[in-house]
Amino acid sequence: MYYIGIDLGGTNIAAGLVDDKGKLLHKLSVHTPSDVDYTVIVEEMVKLSRKVVSEYGANEADIKSVGIGCPGSIDYKKGSVAYSNNIKMYDAPVREEFQKYWNIPVALENDANAAALGEYVACGEAASVFVAVTLGTGVGGGVIIDGKIFTGSNGAGAELGHSTLVHNGLPCTCGKKGCWECYASATALVNQTKIAIEKHPESLMTKIAKERGKVNGRTAFDAAKQNDSVAKYVVEKYLEYVADGIVSMVNIFQPDKVVISGGISNEGDYILKPIREYVEKYDYNKLFNKVEICTATLLNDAGIIGAAYAGKQLI
Amino acid sequence: MYYIGIDLGGTNIAAGLVDDKGKLLHKLSVHTPSDVDYTVIVEEMVKLSRKVVSEYGANEADIKSVGIGCPGSIDYKKGSVAYSNNIKMYDAPVREEFQKYWNIPVALENDANAAALGEYVACGEAASVFVAVTLGTGVGGGVIIDGKIFTGSNGAGAELGHSTLVHNGLPCTCGKKGCWECYASATALVNQTKIAIEKHPESLMTKIAKERGKVNGRTAFDAAKQNDSVAKYVVEKYLEYVADGIVSMVNIFQPDKVVISGGISNEGDYILKPIREYVEKYDYNKLFNKVEICTATLLNDAGIIGAAYAGKQLI
């Protein structure tokens, strides 16, 4: 049995063939057509899926389901994208449209949720409660309870990055102030780094940023590893923001496992050690098993594998 | 069919007989014996339960289950109280002990979770995701997903009051800083009122507090309703803390319904109006059904009814 997972992004559509064990066997991607109707995007997804199947040499009859991870808000009942700013969809019945070409069970998921489910398949299946946190442009979240994506009552749940970390703090793109993502996203780290460079032009970060032509999420980490004191402070404070938000999620969900993804997760133990220490010290649970915190393993393939798994759950 | 619900508190043990529809038919309470072994408390609970049954004129054979709501951390697998500071229990196998006297299915629950389930039975059964928030000495939480208490992976989940509202803010009893409960509990409101009185002794709050011999959770509300400007500011700011935390919970859980309980919930629409406005304005979901926010209906009986319902779920 095979399952197709599709990761629909603003730039690329990636489709992969996944086996029963969640292993990605073959994948392909194409550019996402821009300024087109959703029907054109769906047609592209169908074509790409069929190409993945034929290139791998599988039989279409052995494909049991398709899962699609899509940026934006999903209407689960209708199988439609209620709204996506990234791929310009509004009330788009993607499931129905896909099934016009290929009559197969189709699961439609938010892309962050699909990626969370992918990481769960890769490293969390022992967890009854599993939380995935993506530190990227924003702070994305996904919560898997008993193997299923927690979507809230209306499909829009698990917006962990939009919980408050600093009451009346920095303004967030969502319209609220002080969201966790204003302090713990990669974007936030870049801003924190820029502010530190401005205040302390003597910091090694200035030199590193100049060499690379810009400040990015690695600037402070790289300088900190070379013992630059200002950079060390920036990293320490940033990780404290990340960890404080994780403590909240731990106190709320008491997950068995928290997985951190996004570019910053490449720092591995360098970020995990202080985050684990902080959570161990400050979480509310002093009696029971402690949560395991680790970095993501699948990275870019998480969306495909998770979407495929969501499709598999339909059958 | 009848179900017994027991609300075990530090001061009283209350037991009630509940019918299939969640209606409380009869209840009794006794003082909780202090400085005794858990076995003595369990014996009291058994006696009280049997008395409720016989006083109501029911037949013991018609009692299908018992549910016990208990302050502290519950070990669900063992059916024991892992730790309770309030009633001095540590690793106490309450379920097993109860069944020595009465061989019946026994559900053991944390008391806040049981109360949340009680409110769910009373007014939330249409909700697939239901959040209860108690503004008391602390801020307690309970989350009901598809009719079941969400306990986290280890039974200690839904400590909503220990999510951060102010990073590095006021010190919390839990050891962390800036927990929601440091700003939104009744205790916090009393502190906020005291600080305002100190700064503005001319406020009507000073007079009200003097008349009552102390500052309590009503002082600011009562003065605000008489148009005292300082009190109005205290109430406004307090409700903003409450509402900001609720927005976080809404963004995380996207519940159909949030129920607020605790003494302050007696203020009814006076607190609901500003909280609803704040949540409507700042929650992340701009597309789907909005959450319904209301005050609790059961109050003191929530624990009994919820515990009974938890017992009912066992069979």
pLDDT digit string, tens, across residues A107-119: 999 999 999 999 9
- Read off the pLDDT of residues B22-57 as tens digits, 9 standing for 90 and up: 999 999 999 999 899 999 999 999 999 999 999 999
Does the beta carbon of A129 lie under 8 angstroms from any beta carbon of chain B?
yes
Q: Does B149 touch chain A (CB under 8 A)?
A: no
Q: Which of residues 48-107 of A touch B (CB under 8 A)?
A: 73, 75, 82-83
Model pLDDT, residue A299: 77
Q: What's the Cα-to-Cα distance from B19 to each of B69, B104, B108, B304, rounded to whole Å?
A: 18, 16, 19, 12
Q: B152, A129: Cβ pair inside 8 Å? A: yes
A residues 167-206 lying closer than 8 A (beta carbon) to B? 167, 169, 174-176, 183
Residue to test with chain A: of B128, B163, B177, most A Cβ within 10 A: B163
The residue-averaged pLDDT of B121-149 equals: 94
pLDDT at B10 over 90: no
pTM of the model: 0.94
Residue B151: list chain A partners with CB under 8 A.
254
- Reported as a single tens digit per residue, the pLDDT across B197-242 is 999 999 999 999 999 999 999 999 999 999 999 999 999 999 999 9
Classify the phi-psi angles of A88: left when phi > 0, otherwise alpha if psi is within -120 to 50, otherwise beta: left
Residue A86 has pLDDT above 80, yes or no: no
Question: How high is the mean pLDDT of chain B?
Answer: 95
Mutate to test the interface with B, among A131, A248, A278 (most CBs of B within 10 A): A248
Q: What is the pLDDT of residues A238-273, one digit of tens each?
A: 999 999 999 999 999 999 999 999 989 999 999 999
Q: What pLDDT score was predicted for residue A289?
A: 81
Per-residue tokens: B122: 């009373």
Look up the ipTM and state it.
Answer: 0.94
pLDDT at A132: 97
Above 90 in pLDDT, residue A287?
A: no
CA-nearest residue to A251 within chain B is B159
Confidence of residue A288 (pLDDT cuts 50, 70, 90): confident
Number of residues that make up chain B: 315
Question: Is B245 at the interface with chain A, CB within 8 A?
Answer: yes
Q: Rounded distance, CA A2 to CA A83, Å?
A: 30
Chain A CB contacts of B154 below 8 Å: 254, 256, 285, 288-289
pLDDT band, residue A181 (cuts 50/70/90):
very high
Q: Starting from the edge strand earliest in sequence, which strands make up the sheet with B292-295, in order?
A: B148-149, B139-145, B129-135, B257-261, B292-295
Closest-CA distance, A54 to chain B, in angstroms, reads 39
Mean pLDDT of A187-214: 97
Among A residues 225-244, those touching chain B with beta carbons less than 8 Å apart: 241, 244
Mutate to test the interface with B, among A160, A251, A256, A281 (most CBs of B within 10 A): A251
What 3-state class would DSSP assign to B166? strand
Give the per-residue pLDDT at B286.
Answer: 80
Would the pLDDT of A85 be above 90? no
Q: What are the backbone angles phi and psi of residue B221, rounded to the nearest 5°?
A: -60, -45
- Residue B80 pLDDT > 80, yes or no? yes
**What confidence tens digit (pLDDT) does each residue in B240-299 have?**
999 999 999 999 999 999 999 998 999 999 999 999 999 999 999 888 888 999 999 997
